[in-house]
Every structure is written in structure tokens, then in C-alpha cells.
Amino acid sequence: MSVNPVVSELVASAAARTNALAAPPSRLKEALSDLAGGVSRNWIWTRLAYQDIKERYRGSVLGPFWVTLTNLVMIASMGIIYSELFHAEISTYVPYIMAGILTWQFISGMINEGCATFTNAHDVIQQVPMPFSVQAYRVIYRNLIVLAHSAVIIPIGLLLFRVPVDWHLVELIPALIFLSVNGLWMAVLLGAISTRFRDIPPIVNNVVQVLFFLTPIFWPIDAVQSLKAVLVLNPFFAWIDVVRAPLLGVLPEPTSWPILIGSTLGGSLISFLFFVRFRERIAYWI
Amino acid sequence: MPSIHLRDVCVDFPIYQAGARSLKKMLIAGTTHGNLARDAHDRVMVRALHDITMDVDNSDRIGLIGANGAGKTTLLKVLAGIYKPTQGRIHISGHTTALINSSVGLNQDATGRENIILRGLYMDIHPRDMRERIEQVAEFTELGSYLDMPVRTYSAGMMVRLAFAVSTCIRPEILILDEWLSAGDAHFLAKAQRRMEEFVTRSSILVLASHAFELIEEWCTRAVYLKNGLIEAIGPVDEVIDRYKESVSTND
């Protein structure tokens, strides 16, 4: 085979400038700049999340308020039947399931959609350089938009049943912030694992569905006094309790805030370490 | 000053066959062989790029040629920062815009105008800045009243126009284009080339992968011939194209 003059000339020139390149930034640094770059691009993910919602309801008259209407019908019918079943006062039971179900939908939405954080954005990830964290922030923000739509029935319910709410309502702000961060680490971790193992989303989906029945949402925790000490340790109970209690004018269980803060910090650490290690593989797995 | 430097860059793709991708298989492998790591090493790897070393400097316009599966798109994705090399080092300075696929970020049900804003997001352009440029973009596409129609009514060539107009409206320092550009008609290509020349004179880099030699000859100053993930030739456009043609004919 003859030596190609073009190749030899350029190989020689490349050899002449074999100035070694500086080592690339560490994985830790890259992961941090990914997360920070995502935050500074908040105008991208807020817009994308908004677009997602618009897409979901394109052509429908009620749009995202369909969720609100569906919840209204469900809560009203459950309220009538289950308050009989549990011998609960309807005026306390309806606000209870309303606050519980709406919070549950917010949390489970972040988890279930979190599994698809990266797989749903596969075309973008494969074509355009963009921080991966943008996709995770997008999932959380999208669920906050849905929550904002479904939450319009809350003040109506509280007024209708004259729930004695007080200044404890301000606890909703830190509660929602912690729940969002809590959702964020799950979206990153579950989203990344789901790109590699496609069985994860249905597994998570099943677990979440079962947890709906095991967590005191439509049944009051006091109905099972003997198990209460165990039930309050369920993180899903704690996550819901911090939002539901102030809405009902009662104090959350003493275990709820520690569990929420603990799961947020602990989960964020695990998720962050995973992200540092596998961030650059996501584009290959997807 | 924008520049791109690659040193011995390799890209390996793990192939997860239908079963190998599942958690079950990995867990079962773990219990039956007692070794998860072995499964990881047993998996099939495809080497898409092999020891790529190249330097692209300011104002270079590089044409990438090679048969299907030679690694052109993979190399573009490495240059765009989408794939991190599995081995070797890469250093890119300059703001990069990649157009690997003309339909990315396009929402089929949204109108052309909405999509200009949307695609701008993926190019890191704030909607506020995009709205200022929307008329200029609209004019370049020559799509007229089609811009108020959903994108699903567009032809491939029309989508290419829209994508190209948005992507070049801010003059990226490094522009990476895959072969989809050839979907445009002659009139559009001439227009695109004028815009390209305009921005290359302002010290930018273009990397274009294409099977259309005329396009490469017309647009590029250097060419790279990829074969099975290796650089077969790199240098002046006509010489590299000759070398490619020669290699194809001897293989026949």
C-alpha cells in the first residue's frame, strides 16, 4: 500500500504540535457546573415545562384545569362514601383527603415523571449540548405548575368546611421547597438509572401505586392506632403530613419534619454522588 | 479565538442487547456468577472512533466525509460536547452550536413562529433576544405565511430552512452541521452559503459532514476522511476527496 502524501504531511504536522492538552475538569467540577448551569438557564426549563403542559392539553377547552375537575369529582365522591365507611365527620374528612390527595399527586408525579427525566428528552440530549440538570428542573417545575392548577380547590374546600387554619399556613412554603428539592434528587437519580435499566419506570410505578394504599391518605392515621408508631416512619406519610397538617389547622407529627429534611439531605447526597460518577454516561445509555 | 483540539480520542459504545439492558439480567448474573463486574466487561463494545487527533483553528472550515457508519456523526457529537470521549482528550474553546438533526426541538403541532422561539431555547438563546430577531429569521426562511402554520405541514426542506435560520442568527463561534443541510434546494443552499461566508469571515469554525462533495468543495477549506472510525486522510479538500474516491473504487 502506498503511503498517502496527504496523510503523511498532516500526521507530521500533528506530531510537531503534539502539545499535550490540559487534563479535562474533574467529574465533580463538571457535575457542579452542570447543576449551576441548569439553575442559570431557568428561562429554558420554565419555558419547556410550560410547553409540556400546553402540549398535554392542546386543543382541550379546560386545559390543565381538567386535573382540577377530576380531583373535585373524586374528592367529593370519596368524601361521601368513605366518611361513612370510616365513621368520620364529613366536614373534617373531605378537607383531609383533599389536602392528602393533592400533595400525594404532586409527590408521585415528580417520582413517576422523574423516571422519564432523561428518556423523554432523548432527542435533545443526543443532539444539543445542554446541562442535564435542565431536564430535572423541568420535571419539578412542570409538577409545580400542575399543583398550582389543582390547588385552586383548596381555599374553596377550607372555606366551605370552615377549617380553622391559622398562621401555621406559612409552613407550606418551606414544606413545598423541601418537597421540590426532594423531588429533584429523585428525578436525577431515577431518571439516570432509568436510561440504563428500562425496567425501572414500571417498577417504580408499581411501588408508588401500592404506597398510595399503604400511606394514610384516604384513611386517617388514627384509624390504626396500634400501628401508628410504625406508620409515621413511612417517608411518604411525612412528606404529605408537612403540607396537610397546616392546611387542616393541626400540627404535623413530630417525626414528619425530621424525616423530610433527612430524606432531602440524604437523598440529595446519594443522587449527587451518582450524578458525579455517571453524568457523562447518560448520553451513551439513552 | 475559537479552536478545537483532539488528542487520541476514542469513543466506545456499549451494546445492550434486549436482555442485557434489563436489571433482572444484571441481578441474575450477579447471583448466579457472583460477579457483577464480569457482566460489565463481557458486554459487547463498538468502537465508533479510534485515536482521532486533529486541530481545528480559527476560520477553518472542515468537511467530514466517509461512508455510512464511518463515525462522522459520532465525531460531530464529540465536537459538540454531547459525547464525552471514552479515551483521549479534547479541548474546545468557543461557543458551539450543533445542528445534528434539523427537527430537534421542533414541536410538530406548534407554529413556525412558536418553533423559532422554542428552537432558540435549545440554542441557548433567550426568548427575549429571539423575539428581537424573529423578523430577521422569518425573512431568511422565506416561508412567509407558512410561519403561522403548524410545523407538521412543512416539508423536510422547509424544516431545514427554519432550523438553519434560527441556528445561524446569532453567529456561533463554532458551527457543527450534519448532512441534513443537503435537503435544502439550490436557492436555499446559495443563500445559506452566503450567510456562512459572512460569519466565517468573522473568525469562526465550521465543521460540516456531508456526502455531497460539491457542498464540501464549495464550503470547506480542509477535509477529513473517516473510515471505520479512523482518520484515513486529512488535508486540502480536493486531495482528500480524490483519496476517498480512489479508496471506494479499489474496494469495489
The x, y and z cell numbers of residue A136, run together, are 430535572
Give every CB contact of residue B185 below 8 A, 6+ residues apart in sequence.
B157
Compute the radius of gyration of chain A from its Cα atoms.
24
Q: Do A124 and B104 touch (CB under 8 A)?
A: yes
CA distance B139 to chain A (A): 25
DSSP A166: -
Closest chain A residue to B82, measured at CA: A129
Q: Do B91 and A199 touch (CB under 8 A)?
A: no
Closest chain A residue to B80, measured at CA: A129
What residue has cell string 382540577?
A68
Contact residues, chain B, for A24 at CB < 8 Å: 89-91
Kindly compute the dihedral angle of the four CA atoms of residues A91, A96, A99, A104, in this order, to the nearest 10 degrees: -150
- Cβ-based neighbour number of residue B205 at 10 Å: 25
| Range with lowest mean pLDDT among A150-159, B92-101, B194-203 | B194-203
Interface contacts A/B by beta carbons within 8 Å: 102
Asked whether the predicted pLDDT for residue B40 surpasses 80, the reply is no
Distance CA A56, CA B106 (A): 16
- Containing B44, the helix (H) or strand (E) segment is strand B44-56
Residue B189: the pLDDT is: 83
Using H for helix, E for strand and C for coil, what is the string for A180-196? HHHHHHHHHHHHHHHHH
Residue B34: the pLDDT is: 36
Task: Kindly report, residue by residue over B159-214, the tens digit of the pLDDT.
Answer: 888 888 888 887 788 888 887 666 778 888 888 888 877 766 676 888 999 888 88
Q: What is the mean pLDDT of residues A51-67?
A: 87
Closest chain A residue to B15, measured at CA: A285
Asked whether the predicted pLDDT for residue A11 surpasses 60, the reply is no
Selection from A277, A276, A285 nearest residue B14 by Cα: A285
- Cβ-based neighbour number of residue A221 at 10 Å: 18
Task: Kindly report, residue by residue over B64-90, the tens digit of the pLDDT.
Answer: 999 888 889 999 999 988 999 998 999
Residue B172: the pLDDT is: 80
Task: Kindly report, residue by residue over A228-260, the tens digit of the pLDDT.
Answer: 888 999 999 999 999 999 999 999 999 999 999
Per-residue burial over B68-91, b = 16 or more CB atoms within 10 Å of its CB, e = otherwise: eebbbbbbbbbbbbbbbbbebbbe
CA distance A200 to chain B (A): 8
Contact residues, chain A, for B90 at CB < 8 Å: 21, 24
Asked whether the predicted pLDDT for residue B217 surpasses 80, the reply is yes
Give every CB contact of residue A150 below 8 A, 6+ residues apart in sequence.
A67, A68, A71, A102, A105
Distance CA A220, CA A100 (A): 10
Asked whether the predicted pLDDT for residue B122 surpasses 70, the reply is yes
Asked whether the predicted pLDDT for residue B35 surpasses 50, the reply is no
CB-count exposure of residue B143 (10 Å: 0-12, 13-18, 19+): buried
- Cβ-based neighbour number of residue A106 at 10 Å: 24
Distance CA B248, CA A208 (A): 57
Instruction: Judge whether A254 is closer than 8 Å to chain B, CB to CB.
Output: no
Q: What is the mean pLDDT of chain B?
A: 82
Task: Find out whether B240 and B223 touch, Cβ atoms under 8 Å.
Answer: yes
Instruction: Judge whether B240 is closer than 8 Å to chain A, CB to CB.
Output: yes
Query: ipTM of the assembly?
Result: 0.82
Task: Find out whether B174 and B146 touch, Cβ atoms under 8 Å.
Answer: no
Task: Kindly report, residue by residue over A165-224, the tens digit of the pLDDT.
Answer: 888 899 999 999 999 999 999 999 999 999 999 999 999 999 999 999 999 999 988 888
Task: Kindly report, residue by residue over A82-107, the tens digit of the pLDDT.
Answer: 999 888 889 999 999 999 999 999 99
